[in-house]
Amino acid sequence: MYVVAGLGLAQLALLSGNALAQQEPVRNLNEVVVTATRSSKKQSEIGKVVRVITSETLAKSQGRSLTDVLNNVAGLTIGGNGNTPGDIKSVYLRGAAPGNTLILIDGIPVNDASGISGEYNISAIPVEHIDRIEILKGGNSTLYGSDAVAGVINIITKKGNGPLSASVLATAGTFKTYKQVLGLNGQTNKTSVAFSASNLNSASYSTASPDQGQTNFDKDNFTQRSVSLNLGQQLSSNFTLKANIQASGNQAGLDNGAFSDAIDYTYQKNSILAGLGGKLEFDKGNFNFNLSQNSIKNVFNNQGSLTNNKGNITHLESNVSYQVGRFLDLTSGLSYKNSSTEQQNPFSPAVLFADNNIKSVFTSLFFKTNTGFFAEIGGRVNNHSEFGNNFTYTINPSYVINNRFKLFINASSAYRVPSLYQLFSEYGNLDLQPENSRTYEGGFDFDLLPQKLNLNLSYFDREINDVIDFGQISANQFGYINQGRQNDKGYEAELSFKPVSSITVNAFYAYVNGERTTPSGTAFNLFRRPKNTFGANAAINLSKSVNLNLIYKHTGNREDFYFDSSFNQISATLNSFDMLDAYVEYKPLSKLTIFADVKNLLDENYREFAGYNTSGLNFNAGLRLEIR
């Protein structure tokens, strides 16, 4: 309300009429995606599993986080999503370990060269900066290179569209959590701009969970400030130049580990992603190029004992999509990525300086016929400064009947190179080899009732060789080693149903089973990853101005472990839990939205990581005002 008063109540008088509630679309084969092929194609034309979180869904997620939204996708679990905002958020896609899912921002791969595994912190991206999200499942290293072992999450940020307009969002909620967001979006002449700045503060609660007899753990506060700017300039009728920058700063309190409190232990993470690119359109195709710089700095301060890690990634890529003939499209490109890090910690007198690079060339051919047969055949050659040459492939036929019933199979390979830390740190191992995988997929996607009912089922079998893990290198040395083979298999069933125009229901069930076999033959199940998950999301338009979303997810039992104060490894079982959230929004005026979001309505007392707290029943409420 302070925000509204600050803008002037006269603005509200200029807003008139109730807008029609945004209709949640039913997932269907006519849905257009770009991540699967690096060019716009309908779901009916591709034989891969792609799930889209639409702009309509995100518009009904005001005040929620990116991890909240992703955690309700079939086969995708965000480990630690219910923990404190500053705690680890691990992406588990189809049972794969964190780091085996590649994160893209507007199609550009992002990693953290300063981190242990190199995985990117997705909680650094506020959902208010995002226009839509595409999740591409399965091995996809042919088009996207290293880390795309389990799949790809492409976060597509907002671009300037329509008349220039401003927006203001303000929320308040449990744990003294407050957020403010300012936005500017639109076009003027041939220039487009999308700007968003956000500030989030939370008193939060203790990261670590008190053990028996322990009390008075201190709160671990969290602050996040972020800015996103996308600029576009149309220089001619067929050439557009683009520039972008995303910057964020996270500050949080930390604890010493499972069941272990800490006083004056904090971290600060600053990240900047900047890029310059362009798109040239020509008859029967287009050419794209992008140069990006991704810099991340992490500072951990444990009562004056500092760990200071920096990482930089420079990425240059160009690709062309071309319609060779009536039945053949081609996508081909070149890529160069240089990664470097500088790391210093109080346990080692030496400062770690390390870098490496990888160069790639890739090509995919997309065949299509009038009979409903489609196929992709592609390959990628990589040359790494440490590991030499590597080749990945994709063979992906599909068949569509009457534009409504799709059958598909997919055979692909993927790889993941060790991080700079895993190679060069005090625990590093220069004899490490990249993880190499192959994935088989198959399934169907049926529009049983167009725009009303969609049913799909997919099965996958993934094997990863030379899995990187922490273990014993020699008699007196511990570090990173290649730990045998990981095999994961499972299936996902999804239903999208619109019984009436005002209600859309999306439901899913996902099963994954995996085991790792070490050189000694020992096999064990996946840690922190459930075998069984299922859930549903019901989007209900109660009237032209009131929307209600009910979001439910069941997470099955998981195995975990932690280390006690004597560094002994303790096994733990994490019990299953049910999460029910409710989101409601009211539009009294066409450009004013008032909303409330209640999480964990069942007030489940659950654990996502052994020894760490979760939030329990919590809520936030706020408003969003658009000004034109």
Quick check: helix, strand or coil at residue 368? strand
Domains in the chain, please, with CATH?
A: 18-627 (2.40.170.20)
Q: Give the mean model confidence (pLDDT) for residues 112-137.
A: 90
At 575, which amino acid appears?
N
Contact 562, 570 (CB under 8 A): yes
Query: Phi/psi at 544 (nearest 5 deg)?
Result: -65, -20
How far is the C-alpha of 419 from the C-alpha of 416, rounded, in Å? 9
Q: Give the mean model confidence (pLDDT) for residues 129-157.
A: 94
What global pTM score does this model have? 0.93
- The Cα-based distances of 154 to 261, 394, 523, 606 in angstroms read 36, 19, 33, 30
Lowest mean pLDDT among 4-18, 47-61, 136-150, 488-502: 4-18
- The Cα-based distances of 441 to 139, 270, 500 in angstroms read 10, 38, 33
Q: Which residues contact 536 (CB under 8 A, 6 or more apart)?
A: 505, 506, 507, 508, 550, 551, 552
pLDDT value at 16 more than 90: no
Q: Give the mean model confidence (pLDDT) for residues 130-138.
A: 95
The secondary structure of residue 25, as a DSSP letter, is P
Nearest partner of 71 among 62, 82, 63, judged by Cα: 82
If you average pLDDT over every residue of the chain, what do you get?
91
CA torsion, ordered 21, 24, 30, 32, to nearest 10 deg: 90
pLDDT tens digits, one per residue of 403-455: 999 999 999 999 999 999 999 998 999 999 999 999 999 999 999 999 999 99
So what's the pLDDT on residue 86?
Answer: 85
- At 7, the pLDDT band (50, 70, 90 cuts) reads very low
How far is the C-alpha of 89 from the C-alpha of 384, rounded, in Å? 29
pLDDT tens digits, one per residue of 501-533: 999 999 999 999 998 888 778 777 789 999 999
Q: Give the mean model confidence (pLDDT) for residues 480-509.
A: 95
The secondary structure of residue 18, as a DSSP letter, is P
What tokens were used for 118? 């190199």
pLDDT tens digits, one per residue of 350-382: 888 999 999 999 999 999 999 999 999 999 999
pLDDT value at 20 more than 50: no
- At 476, the pLDDT band (50, 70, 90 cuts) reads confident
- The Cα-based distances of 545 to 467, 534, 567, 581, 623 in angstroms read 52, 30, 56, 20, 14
- The Cα-based distances of 48 to 29, 137, 145, 340, 520 in angstroms read 12, 7, 17, 33, 36
The secondary structure of residue 475, as a DSSP letter, is T
Burial 537-550 (b: 16+ CB within 10 A, else e): bbbbbeeebebebb
Tokens 């302070």 identify what position?
2
Higher-confidence residue: 358 or 345?
Answer: 358
Residue 493, judged by CB atoms within 10 A of its CB (0-12, 13-18, 19+), counts as middle
The secondary structure of residue 208, as a DSSP letter, is B
Higher-confidence residue: 17 or 22?
Answer: 22
Q: Give the mean model confidence (pLDDT) for residues 459-463.
A: 97
- At 211, the pLDDT band (50, 70, 90 cuts) reads confident
How far is the C-alpha of 347 from the C-alpha of 356, rounded, in Å? 25
Residue 519: Cβ within 10 Å count? 10
pLDDT tens digits, one per residue of 292-315: 999 999 999 999 899 999 999 999
Q: Which residues on neighbouring strands pair with residue 599, listed in sequence order?
A: 618
pLDDT value at 21 more than 90: no
How far is the C-alpha of 18 from the C-alpha of 23, rounded, in Å? 15
How far is the C-alpha of 321 from the C-alpha of 279, rounded, in Å? 11
Quick check: helix, strand or coil at residue 4? helix
- At 87, the pLDDT band (50, 70, 90 cuts) reads confident
The DSSP result for 153-199, as a single string, is: EEEEE----SB-EEEEEEEEEGGGEEEEEEEEEEEETTEEEEEEEEE
What tokens were used for 37? 């092929």
Q: What is the 3-state secondary structure (H, E, C) of 424-450?
A: HCCCCCCCCCCEEEEEEEEEEEEEEEC
- At 471, the pLDDT band (50, 70, 90 cuts) reads confident
Residues in the chain: 628
Residue 495, judged by CB atoms within 10 A of its CB (0-12, 13-18, 19+), counts as middle
Quick check: helix, strand or coil at residue 129? helix
Quick check: helix, strand or coil at residue 539? strand
How far is the C-alpha of 584 from the C-alpha of 326, rounded, in Å? 48
Contact 23, 541 (CB under 8 A): yes
So what's the pLDDT on residue 18?
Answer: 40
Q: What is the 3-state secondary structure (H, E, C) of 229-281?
A: EEEEEEEECCEEEEEEEEEEEEEEECCCECCECCCCEEEEEEEEEEEEEEEEE
- At 23, the pLDDT band (50, 70, 90 cuts) reads low
